[in-house]
Structure formats: structure tokens, C-alpha cells
Structure 1
Amino acid sequence: MALLSFDMKRNPAQAKTSLLVLLALMIVFPFIAQQFGNSWVRIMDIALLYIMLALGLNVVVGFAGLLDLGYIAFYAIGAYTAGLLASPQFAAVIESFVNTYPVVGNFLVMVCGPEIVQNGIHLSLWLIVPISALFAAFFGALLGAPTLKLRGDYLAIVTLGFGEIIRIFMNNLNAPVNITNGPQGINLIDPIRVFGVSLAGEPGSGSMVKIFGMSTPSVNAYYFLFLLLCIGVIFFSVRLQDSRLGRAWVA
């Protein structure tokens, strides 16, 4: 018998115990790995992000059985949207419109106001996440509508093409109007703030974050946020699989 088992149907008691053991290991990991430097924790930060991406892909490929090779394009759309809503980049967008298309640019200046024109948009994380998700979902629906009846290789070709189109489009969307800053990407993105606490650390803190009166490295703060989000996505994915809609997809 395996030391750890996650089969909730055949052996639910062992599966729950295994989940608790795994969760305990994940909680203590950054404190142990930190003894060898922050790089290992930073790697796990990125790994947790990709785990959440893989769980989303599993809905399409695993549950519905649709070979989607352009899934990462929707992630890119959401990421660029988040970048525009939390950086000085939108100020550069308005400036580009003013220089290239004065009518549109002056309209944006009038609508956005001097603060955004000067400093860009800096929204809260709680607004950025749903807006970015809705924007990515809109493009998902836009691609999904004409490809509803495609299956197998045909769907794979269409989604792969869409993924490449988005990649090329984003890399070249710096002229004539600079929206994405081209291959250089969007810079100076605001650090994540949760309940007023910057997970990158305040200026002069040496990348240390104070949580409940205790100081912890920035990479640890990001790690626990991503771990919490990952647990939420796993829970949602499992509940979705057991729902009527999930069973219909699997069937």
C-alpha cells in the first residue's frame, strides 16, 4: 500500500490523512528551504502559479476532453490586463494616442482625468483580479463561439493558431500605439497588497513583510498567498467535477 494516497473514493480516511500531511509539509517548506536561500522558495512561488494554470487547463482537457493548445493565450490576456490596471503603462497608452490619434487621445485625457494621465492606473487587487478574469473570459467566449463543433486535431490547430496570434500580437502592440510595450513587457507593476500589506515589503524594509507583528521574507509572503489560492482552486475544481455540470463534461 502506498504511503500517501489521495483516492477519496476507495480510501477516504487515508486520503484525508495524506492531504493533511501534504498540507503540513507545504506549510513548513519555506522555513526549511530558506536555510538554503530564497531562490528555492521563489521557484515554489512560480510552481504554485503553474499548478493553478494546470488545474484550469484540466477543466478543458481533462473534464471536457477538448485538446486546447492555446490555453496560455487567455492567461496572457488576463496578465496584460492586470499589468495595465496596476502600473504607469496606461499613461504611456494615453500619450501614444495623443501623439498618433489626437481625437481619441484627447477624449481619453478628458475621460480619465489628470491623475491617470500622469501616473497610469493603480487599482486594488480585489478589482484587478475579477476584471482581468472577465476580460480573459470574454476572449474565451469569442473564440469558443465559432469553434463549438470542432473536436480533436481541428480544435487543436485552431487554438494553437490563436495562441500564436496572441503572442505575436502582444509582442508588436507597441506601435503605432504603445499598449503592451512590445517585447519589453509592462514594467513597474504594483506589488500585491493584501489588506493594506505590501507582499513585496515596504520601502527600506529589505524585502521583509510584517504579518501579525512577525517579519517574514517577501518570497514567503507570496508563497503563502499562492498556496492559499491554490488550495481554493483545487477545492473549486473538485466541487466542479462532482457537480451536475462537471459530470456532464466528463460524460
Structure 2
Amino acid sequence: MFTPEQRDRTRARLLARAEADDSITGFAYTGSHATGTGDRWSDTDIVMGVRGEVDVTVARWTDWIQGEFDPRHHWDLPVRGASVVRLFLLPGWVELDITFTPEDEFGPRGPQWRTVFGQDQPVEAFAPPDADMLAGLVWHHALHTRNCLVRGRTWQAEHWISALRDHVITLACLRLGLPTADTKGAHLLPEEFTAPLESTPVRSLTEPELRRALTATITVATAELDHSDRELATRLRPMFTELT
């Protein structure tokens, strides 16, 4: 694994390259490095404002990173608009997440942002997850778990139970004002929520175990809905009982 010193040298080389590139109009750190909360294992998240054709700059930078760091793989996150989010895996498990965005869209969309150079533009913040959609995914996944069980599709049932638990965690984080993406706020949730959650993982692919895990997960989900949308919880509780 990489050392913090190796990661910091990589960041410094990226910044120096950006400062020397006339097409780069802004450079910012996002993620934990922007807020001083990173640790030994934090990756590198960068946003760069681009003058001109974004795809041209992305191709040029990719060629440079290939020659400079010898990455083992790279791929793009799907995003809307003209921005490109390209992720690189360097030797030693150094991860680079670089967002190339038009210069008029270079600006913070959330609290994790630190401008190194360039002028921030007023941009729309990322919207939080929709609580009603999350609640809908809860009942959707519970129903599909039950359907998989009666069809004997054990691996698919396990998938739905795990996904259901993730959405319940996101609902709790949203309610408590904690980070919601990728369950990043899960370690900050109170024990009164996490203690019952410990019984929800699937321990084997037998039907009794899958039904036990589904019941445990639905119990936690119903308790969370009691906090976030009590009227909906009241309507769904008897229907959840039919599934368990």
C-alpha cells in the first residue's frame, strides 16, 4: 500500500502540472483532503476548471498520467452535463478521482471543497437524497426479497436484503443530518439505531436464514420510518407483516 508521503508527492505533481497548463483555470480539492479530516487511507479527489473543450483536456491529461504514474486502470463515472469524472488506480493502490469541468461550472457543490487556485463560480449544490424515494426503495426491496425466496433465488434475495439495509442507513443519515453518500455517515449513527442493525446481515443462503435476515431488516426499516415518516410507517406496517 502507498504511504502518505507517496500520496502527497502525487498530489504535488498534479498541482504543479495544473498550474503550468493554460487550459486549467481552477484547481480544488474535494473530499476529506479539503476539510482536513483525511487519514492514512484517504484517496485524492480533485476538481479542475477547464477552458475550451473538456474532452480534449481529459485526453491530454490521461496521456500525461499514463506516462507519469503508470496507472493500472482508469474509468469514468457517469455524470450529467459536460463534466468528466475520471478515476485512476496507480501502483500501490493510490486512487485519483479527477473531475474535469467547464470553467463556468467550477465551484463548490457541497461543503467538502478547498480552492487552491482559480475563481469559484456560483453553481447549484448537489441535492440530498429524496426521502420518499428511499422509503419507496425500502418496500420495493422487501417485496422483491420475498418474491425471490418463493422462487428459490437465494443469491438474488441476499442482494435485495443488503440493498434494503443500505437504504435504511441512508434514511437514518438523512434524518440526522449526516453524510448520506456511500453510507459515509454510518459510523456516526447512534447506537440505538446501529445495535438492531447488527442482526440484519445474511449469514448463510438457507431459506430460514434469509427469512430471518429479512425480518430483522424490515424491523429496523419500520422503526426508522416511524422517525422519518410515521404516517407511512403506519400504512406499511401491516403489509410488512405479510412479508415476514
TM-score bracket for this pair, using the shorter chain length = under 0.3
Q: As a proportion of its length, which structure holds more helix?
A: 1
Higher RCO (Cα < 8 Å, 6 or more apart): 1
TM-score by length of 2: 0.28
